[in-house]
Amino acid sequence: MKYSYYYDLEKKNRIECIFNVLMYEQDAKDETIRLNFQASIVEYKNDEVIQSANRLASFVLPQQQGSQGHDIDFHRIRYKPENKWIFEIRNNRVISETLVLGLYTDLARHDPIGLDVQHINNQYNVELRGNNLSRLQPTYVAPTIQSLLVNTNFSDRRIPDGFTSIGYFYDHNNTRLRLNNFRQTYRTKIPKKAEFTIKASITPTSVSGVDNKLFEVDLDNIGTIHVFNHQMRFIKVNASAGVIKNFSNPLSMESFLSIPEYSDFIIDGDKNGNIRITYGSEALEASIDSFEDSLFLAFTASGSINHYLNQLFVEYKI
């Protein structure tokens, strides 16, 4: 079943809630039906997919022949206070089987102008009843939406959407990139009050650069992290002074080569504006202002020294 809420008459901007049955198996003896399906909620802007959430699941529908009542409930919830669109699929025959998917999107702030519903599976026919639009209970609590923006370990030559780098080289023996700069622009911004995690695996080729500086990472609307071989500095956006963390042991090439965790460059932010930056297995804690959403992260190596990028992961929860 595909529910398509459109926001313009050409139907190029829309939210689609899709229930796509991949396998439909009817048991001849006890007349139960097993459905393996993919549930998706997709946002289209100008006919292009901006973001989507997908899950695979399975429902069992007992005693089909001559059964009363209905099999599956579909709820499409628009929740403006938190900018969320939610798709709930419930097995009416086995109440514990429920799936909830959602998107954090601008479109939840606007009114759709129409809804098209299409039966997209040809293995069975369906009847749709109880098609109602209702008020949300005042006690309704929207689920937390988890949005994975980037997730790659460069196991093949492909670079993620929105990733740019001048002069990078793909090291296919170790499935990593060798570069001295890159910028990752996210398809949808990290919302300002969201919990987020950014993780990159960055290994320098030398730790003795000018002023002992290795690299800096600029997080849009959050701040800049300067990494030296003896310390890390975080300067939040629009500030001049920052927080400094001195490494108890200066970073050395031996450590990078022998301890894989050393290369993990991790930024964890919570919804109260606290962030924790980890590198070389040491952490710096600071607070940020969270006035704006964050669109990108940019890495610049000091003195064009090459670094290896093995992994890039960006996710938020809201």
Beta carbon of residue 23, minimum distance to another protein (angstroms, whole number):
14
Binding of residue 12 to another protein (CB under 8 A): no
List 74, 168, 170, 247, residue binding another protein (CB under 8 A): 74
Q: How far apart are CA 112 and CA 9, in angstroms?
A: 10
Nearer to another protein, 112 or 209 (CB): 112
List 20, 52, 64, 212, residue binding another protein (CB under 8 A): 64
Q: How many CA atoms lie within 13 A of 295 on its CB side?
A: 2
List 22, 56, 126, 257, residue binding another protein (CB under 8 A): 126
List 28, 30, 46, 69, residue binding another protein (CB under 8 A): 69
CB atoms within 10 A of CB 209: 17
Beta carbon of residue 63, minimum distance to another protein (angstroms, whole number):
12
List 79, 168, 170, 296, residue binding another protein (CB under 8 A): 79
Q: Which of residues 133-192 bind another protein (CB under 8 A)?
A: 133-136
Phi-psi region of 175 (alpha: psi -120 to 50; beta: other; left: phi over 0): left
Stretch that binds another protein, among 47-55, 106-114, 179-187, 257-265 (CB under 8 A): 106-114
List 57, 60, 115, 305, residue binding another protein (CB under 8 A): 115
The dihedral through the CA atoms of 208, 213, 218, 224 has a sign that is: positive
Residues 6 or more apart whose CB falls under 8 angstroms from that of 175 comprise 153, 154, 155, 156, 310
Q: Which of residues 27-56 bind another protein (CB under 8 A)?
A: 33
Binding of residue 101 to another protein (CB under 8 A): no
User: Which residues on adjacent β-strands are paired with residue 182?
Assistant: 299
> How many degrees, rounded to 5, is the angle at CA 89 between CA 88 and CA 94?
130
Nearer to another protein, 13 or 310 (CB): 13
Residues 6 or more apart whose CB falls under 8 angstroms from that of 68 comprise none
Nearer to another protein, 43 or 220 (CB): 43
Q: Which two tokens stand for residue 7?
A: 């926001």
Beta carbon of residue 9, minimum distance to another protein (angstroms, whole number):
6
Number of residues forming the site for another protein (CB under 8 A): 49
Nearest to 213 by CA among 312, 303, 316, 151: 303
> How many degrees, rounded to 5, is the angle at CA 247 between CA 252 and CA 196?
105
Binding of residue 131 to another protein (CB under 8 A): yes
List 36, 63, 118, 205, residue binding another protein (CB under 8 A): 118
Stretch that binds another protein, among 104-112, 194-202, 259-267, 284-292 (CB under 8 A): 104-112
Beta carbon of residue 26, minimum distance to another protein (angstroms, whole number):
7
Q: How far apart are CA 302 and CA 298, in angstroms?
A: 13
Binding of residue 94 to another protein (CB under 8 A): no
Q: How many CA atoms lie within 13 A of 253 on its CB side?
A: 8
Beta carbon of residue 218, minimum distance to another protein (angstroms, whole number):
36
Q: Which two tokens stand for residue 302?
A: 């000091």
3-state secondary structure of 20: strand
**Rg value, the chain, Cα:** 24
Nearer to another protein, 62 or 242 (CB): 62
Q: Which two tokens stand for residue 26?
A: 């009817």
- Site for another protein, rule CB under 8 A: 1, 3, 5, 9, 26, 33, 61, 64, 69-81, 92, 109, 111-136
